[in-house]
Amino acid sequence: MEELSPVDILMLDYVEYGAINDKSSFAGFWYYRYESNPQNILNKLINLKLIYKALDIERNLKNTTLPELKLLLKENGLRVSGKKNDLIQRILDNIQFDVLKDTYPEQYYALSPEAKKILSRNEHIPYAHKHINWGLGITEIHNLKKSYPNLKESDLMWMYFEKESLLSARKGDWGLFRNHKHHQAELLIEEDKYRDSLSFIFQVCFLDLSGLQNGFKKEYLFIYEKGFFPYRQSIATLTKHHIELIAKIKDTINISDVELKSLYVDSVGDLNLPFHLFTLDETFQILKYELENNLDHLENIYKDAEKRYYSKQKSATNMNIKKSITPTLESKKNKGFLSFLFKNKKG
């Protein structure tokens, strides 16, 4: 059999769960993301006998309105009370298939046994498509799977995050680095590893408060600093999403405030960043006050950090001025000495 591409395999998943028939229209992502014609892919899979048309009574019933289902039940002398799923099951249990197939003749594409085997061996492809915003495409994860066939899809994704995090840190792209940590937290939450996910959420918070961004350079601080302070206008704050997520996880795993701080310090203590607006303790206090919605305390922390920041900047500026003046003075001294020698020589 002809080898299937990742996009072909994705179509198998789409057929399995997407209720595809001849009347179906396809989502735009087939065209703009995968640069493929979905109808051509469908025809290819039909020719390979991997998909076929089949009558799906239950699916047809699910697409039927509640009044229509009740009418069918009434016509067949059956009770009409209950929720939609109850009505559907009552119809399937009590009305003959031949009657139903004439009433609901709509056919949908279904997978052959061979297609189901192919899909089960390539679960990493729909997984990557589902998490397309995480950055690892279906072709890339498919290539990774070939190199590491024993790894499950989430482990392949984790490998990608670790590699990209390292590259982003080396390039100084701290925004990308932060996003990879955010996605790692999401992956862990999907696997119900809530305590582990907190560690990565804390790293995201620490980075959000740092003042760092992609391509950060200290010589451009005079530009960045316009968005640092005060608290209500700062770009260096925690997102509402992460605050709510921390609160939810905190309640889920029943972690105390003392344990929360310990986990926070352990999670961010080893992050070696080139710059940060706040001390480690201040970042935890900001997190704590955000959880409590204590705006007064938050504003005070940002005020203290602002004073410290501009004090350091002033000291650094004075130091640079001193360094720039010293060579000039030395140059003037040398010029004066040379002038003295020249005059003496001339005399």
Please classify residue 323 by burial: count the beta carbons closer than 10 Å to its beta carbon, then call 0-12 exposed, 13-18 middle and 19+ buried: exposed
Mean pLDDT rounded to a whole number for the chain: 91
Q: Name the region of 161 (left: φ>0; alpha: ψ -120 to 50; beta: rest).
A: alpha
CB 177 within 8 A of CB 169: yes
Q: How confident is the model over 138-179, as pLDDT tens digits?
A: 999 999 999 999 999 999 999 999 999 999 999 999 999 999
Q: Residue 53: which of 21, 8, 81, 75 has the closest Cα?
A: 21
Q: Residue 324 has what pLDDT?
A: 54
Number of H helices, E strands in the chain: 18, 2
What is the pTM for the complete model shown? 0.83
**Rounded Cα gap, residues 228 and 275, in angstroms:** 13
Report residue 342's pLDDT band, with 50, 70 and 90 as the boundaries.
very low
Q: What is the mean pLDDT of residues 9-22?
A: 90
| DSSP secondary structure of 176-218 | HHHHHHHHHHHHHHHTT-HHHHHHHHHHHHHHHTTT--BT--G
> CA–CA distance from 332 to each of 106, 136, 338 (Å)?
95, 61, 10
Tokens 């706040």 belong to which residue?
278
Q: How confident is the model over 89-127, as pLDDT tens digits?
A: 999 999 998 889 888 888 899 999 999 999 999 999 999
Mean pLDDT lowest for which of 60-74, 152-166, 209-223? 60-74
